[in-house]
């Protein structure tokens, strides 16, 4: 039976291989020059450089072996098209490994620049665009009665700057989204698309306004 430290070392080596393999996929998708890809590469190098030092393994290395093994396994099993999942699991794995490095002076990966994940932000931006398409579809469906509705014009004027602000902040990385944000936007878009009467549409349209307002305030 291998010694506990040797077993941990093998677990970390496997995690490193998985990280580098999957990172290569997202780096190819976004480009090596992408700012976030550069940051993630630096993070990976920083963590595993510490583990590559033979002196690191001369002492017991307490860590959550099961969590590291499970996350490594999940990361390996992700389809190459699941770029969001790959980015999230690489960062999760780095966070677990970071906890194994005592007194290294490394800035926490859970708090450093992780709020604005460009992959997830892009997913939410795409979802927001999808909602706008659904709104246009409903405008075409209802025609002049809705377009000439004074109350709806006020609702639209209220919504427009909020959506623009949310878009701008997601684009710039000023705020960070998560997959729940994406799901919330998609769900509201489905409600808008399913509206078959003007009163119901206006209710769901206003619901989208309130959703965006809530997302903005939660990141304020």
What is the pLDDT at residue 29?
A: 84
Residue-wise pLDDT tens digits, 47-86: 888 788 777 777 777 778 888 999 999 999 988 887 767 8
Q: With contact defined as beta carbons under 8 Å apart, do 78 and 14 qualify?
A: no
Q: How confident is the model at residue 198 (pLDDT cuts 50, 70, 90)?
A: very high
**pLDDT single digits (tens) 95-131:** 888 877 654 444 444 444 444 677 788 889 989 988 9
| pLDDT for residue 133 | 87
DSSP of 183-196: HHHHHHHHHHHT--
> pLDDT confidence of 209, banded at 50, 70, 90?
very high
CA atoms within 13 A on the CB side of 121: 17
Phi-psi region for residue 21, left (φ > 0), alpha (ψ -120 to 50) or beta?
alpha
Separation CA 136–CA 74 (nearest Å): 40
C-alpha radius of gyration, the chain, whole number:
23
Across 53-57, 85-89, 198-202, the highest mean pLDDT is recorded for: 198-202
Cα(152)–Cα(130) distance, rounded to whole angstroms?
Answer: 20
pLDDT bucket at 184, cuts 50 / 70 / 90 = very high
Q: What is the pLDDT of residue 107?
A: 43
Alpha-carbon distance 48 to 111, whole Å? 19
- The mean pLDDT value of the chain amounts to 83
Q: Residue 100's pLDDT is what?
A: 74
Q: What is the mean pLDDT of residues 197-220?
A: 92
Q: How far apart are the first and last CA of the chain?
A: 53
In 53-149, which residue ranges form alpha helices assigned H by DSSP?
A: 65-77, 83-98, 118-142, 144-147
Pairwise CA distance, residues 159 & 189, whole Å: 14
Position 1 scores a pLDDT of 39
DSSP state of 172: H
- Cβ neighbourhood burial of 188 (10 Å; 0-12, 13-18, 19+): buried
What confidence tens digit (pLDDT) does each residue in 9-34 have?
888 899 999 999 999 998 898 888 87
Structure-block tokens of residue 12: 């970390």
Neighbours of 170 (CB within 10 A): 24
Determine the average pLDDT of the residues in 147-154: 87
200 burial type by CB count under 10 A (0-12 exposed, 13-18 middle, 19+ buried):
middle
Percent pLDDT > 70 in the chain is 90
Reported confidence tier of residue 3, pLDDT bands at 50, 70, 90: low
Instruction: Return d(Cα 218, Cα 58) in angstroms, integer.
Output: 46
Output the CA angle 48-53-92, nearest 5 degrees. Answer: 20
Is the pLDDT at 181 greater than 50, yes or no? yes
């Amino acid at each position: 039976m291998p010694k506990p430290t040797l077993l941990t070392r093998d677990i970390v080596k496997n995690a490193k291989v998985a990280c580098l393999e999957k990172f290569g996929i997202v780096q190819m998708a976004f480009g090596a020059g992408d700012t976030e890809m550069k940051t993630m590469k630096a993070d990976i190098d920083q963590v595993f450089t510490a583990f590559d030092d033979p002196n690191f393994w001369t002492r017991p290395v307490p860590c959550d072996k099961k969590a590291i093994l499970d996350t490594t396994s999940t990361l390996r099993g992700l389809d190459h098209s699941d770029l969001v999942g790959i980015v999230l699991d690489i960062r999760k794995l780095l966070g677990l490994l970071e906890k194994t490095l005592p007194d290294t002076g490394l800035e926490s990966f859970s708090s450093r620049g992780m709020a604005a994940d460009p992959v997830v932000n892009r997913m939410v931006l795409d979802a927001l665009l999808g909602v706008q398409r659904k709104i246009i579809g409903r405008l075409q469906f209802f025609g002049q009665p809705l377009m000439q509705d004074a109350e709806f014009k006020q609702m639209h004027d209220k919504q427009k700057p909020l959506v623009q602000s949310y878009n701008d902040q997601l684009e710039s990385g000023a705020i960070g989204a998560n997959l729940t944000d994406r799901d919330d936007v998609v769900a509201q878009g489905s409600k808008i698309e399913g509206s078959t009467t003007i009163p119901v549409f206006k209710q769901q349209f206003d619901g989208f306004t309130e959703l965006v307002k809530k997302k903005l305030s939660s990141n304020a």
